[in-house]
A and B are shown apart, each in its own frame.
Chain A
Amino acid sequence: MNQTVFAPWDDPDEKPLIQFRNVTKRFGDFTAIDDLTLDIYAQEFFALLGPSGCGKTTMMRMLAGFETPTEGNILLSGQDIAPIPPNKRAVNMMFQSYALFPHLSVRDNIAFGLRRESKDKAKIDERVEEMLRLTRLTKFAGRKPHQISGGQRQRVALARSLAKAPKLLLLDEPLGALDRKLREETQFELMDIQEKTGTTFVIVTHDQEEAMTVASRVAVMDEGKLIQVATPDVIYEAPNSVYVADFIGDVNIVEGRASQTGDKVDVAWAEGQPPIHATTQKRFDRDAQCYFAIRPEKVHISKERDDSRPNVLQGKVIDIAYLGNISTYHVRLADGTMMKAQSANTRRLANRGITWEDEVWLSFTDTAGVMLAR
């Protein structure tokens, strides 16, 4: 392993910065977080990803101190933080609505937290200037929040929460209010600032692309539980469940019965169709229900039968979604199953051969998809 790769979660000697230990949070009858255990390490950019209501915001609010766990504990640097009120925690939060104080200027907003703990005016000013430079807001320091644009407000919120140099910065849907183009730019800015300051970031988002772009690790959540915690590439290429595969990106899922020999599996999935050949490290009982998941871009589409790959299926093009750089073909197989295949549009429109109603061949290797038990 290369030493420069940042992967503290693989190092058994590394002490986590934050530990959730069997944390459960209930609001009346509703269980928001269900017996959850998780470690987050210093300097990570950790993303909590899930649909609304999955409990990700509750986790963040427990870290900030606005909620306390019903059961279990949360440790920060090995210390239980339950008895510490939010104003005494070395944790700062960037709010979804930014929560900028409307009656204070940009400068005073950034200085707000610093003034609570120190009386040294020169030091505060110096730190504020530093934060203004870091977030490129020096020009707007005297303005009120309603006199600047949405993107600038987002940067003020970031500067304000970073000013106290917290051990941990929480970001609640930080880019949700920005339009797509600005969001993409800001994602890189966030990563850049995270790297420069060395702060641990925990970001809550429902936008899978955003989580994949910025995070060192992603936790996919559903109904108060962690479904999978892994690096973005593992989440995408090796999801551990249909839920994760389906939540992240586009996917074809084929349900069938397994028959395994070594690490090779054949999936019988439809009457009169050849089984799908796949590879897996997992064990599947004979005829156990299983799912084969494959990303559309890993399915090759052609008008001629292509036997260079072990799986070949025939079908008819029903729909084409042209996205500029790529096109997605919706193909109906002989038994009626729909499968999506993607190909890059490396040639100009007129030269591409496949169109509606064409008979086509789909093919993929035995390692292109993943086998899932649930």
Chain B
Amino acid sequence: MRRFSLFNATSLTFGFAFLYLPMVILIIYSFNASQLVTVWAGFSTRWYGELLRDQEFLDAAWVTLRVAVFSSTIATVLGTMAATVIVRAGRFKGRTLFSGMIYAPLVMPEVITGLSLLLLFIGIGLDRGILTVVLAHTTFSMCYVSVVVSSRLATFDTALEEAALDLGCSPFEAFRLVTLPIIAPAVISGWLLAFTLSLDDLVIASFTTGPSATTLPIKIFSAVRLGVSPQINALSTILIAFVAVGVIAASLATKRAAVRADKDARAAERAAG
């Protein structure tokens, strides 16, 4: 506390203002009655109404949601497997290549990932659409999932799995009954991360999709290239609200879990005394 000076307070205030003001402004202007986005003409929910009547946006939203659900679910399964391989499988032939392929997509520019996948899909004659976008999103988000899950697995006490084996579990049962329930929070955050990455992705989806499957970011991008639009403001507000509610709920849940853990620790002390 002693070092929490005026300087710190100022830098935090300005820092968070910088982070949040643009979004706040966006939200405010989404309620602007005027067509002209820079002139305030009174409060209105008109753009929300127009947005909800715009079939193209609704279709794009539906495509995006399906892609995100499928790709994040497959990515979570594959990513958890990959994490288990990296943390547990020990040495095997081609291990270096494997971990390289897990980490490379994290630093690969999206334009390159998109380009290479598109060339593959064309090469094997796969029609571009929802399927190809799901494949593309699964590939890069499984790497993120694997990083999240493997950092949890690395601190996992292997004695727990050994105890399960010792008590009669097969290796697979030990994973299902002991490891998975314990690492579940990491697996869930991996899924959420994959889901968000898929929802957000513009570049890779642009490369790998066909005319039948326009995702929401592609739709937004083609709309805003021409300039600011009040409809997009409304859409952005809805998306920001979703994320904010989600993140705040998650952090409240963590906080409650921490409080409960604290109470448990005190209960354990009493039990000892």
Taking a contact as CB atoms closer than 8 A, the residue among B162, B181, B265, B271 that contacts A103 in the complex is B181
- Do A99 and B160 touch across chains, with their CB atoms under 8 A apart? yes
Collect the chain A residues with CB atoms within 8 Å of residue B157's CB.
Answer: 97, 99
- Do A113 and B268 touch across chains, with their CB atoms under 8 A apart? no
A36 to B1, CA, bound (A): 60
**B169–chain A nearest beta-carbon distance, Å:** 6
Q: Known contacts A66-B162, A86-B162; is A152 also within 8 Å of B167 by CB?
A: no
A93 to B160, CA, bound (A): 12
Q: Is A183 an interface residue (CB 8 A)?
A: no
Q: B158-191 toward A: CB 8 Å interface, digit per residue (1/0)?
A: 0110111111111001000110011000000000
Taking a contact as CB atoms closer than 8 A, the residue among B162, B177, B268 that contacts A146 in the complex is B268
List residues of A whose CB falls within 8 A of some B CB. 64-66, 85-88, 91-93, 95-97, 99, 101-103, 112-113, 116-117, 140, 143-144, 146-152, 160-161, 164
- Do A64 and B268 touch across chains, with their CB atoms under 8 A apart? no
Counting chain A CB atoms within 10 Å of each CB, the highest count among B164, B168, B261, B264 belongs to: B168
Instruction: Pull 27 A–B residue pairs with CB atoms less than 8 Å apart, ordered by A.
Output: A86-B165, A87-B170, A92-B166, A95-B162, A97-B157, A99-B162, A99-B163, A101-B182, A102-B182, A103-B182, A112-B164, A112-B167, A113-B167, A113-B168, A116-B167, A116-B168, A117-B168, A146-B261, A146-B268, A147-B264, A147-B271, A148-B271, A151-B272, A152-B271, A152-B272, A161-B166, A164-B167
- Do A149 and B166 touch across chains, with their CB atoms under 8 A apart? no
Interface residue range, chain B: 20 to 34
A198 to B134, CA, bound (A): 60
Collect the chain B residues with CB atoms within 8 Å of residue A144's CB.
Answer: 264
Taking a contact as CB atoms closer than 8 A, the residue among A87, A97, A160 that contacts B165 in the complex is A87
Collect the chain A residues with CB atoms within 8 Å of residue B264's CB.
Answer: 144, 146-147
**A129–chain B nearest beta-carbon distance, Å:** 18
Collect the chain B residues with CB atoms within 8 Å of residue A161's CB.
Answer: 166-167
- Do B272 and A150 touch across chains, with their CB atoms under 8 A apart? yes
A103 to B183, CA, bound (A): 10
Collect the chain A residues with CB atoms within 8 Å of residue B181's CB.
Answer: 103
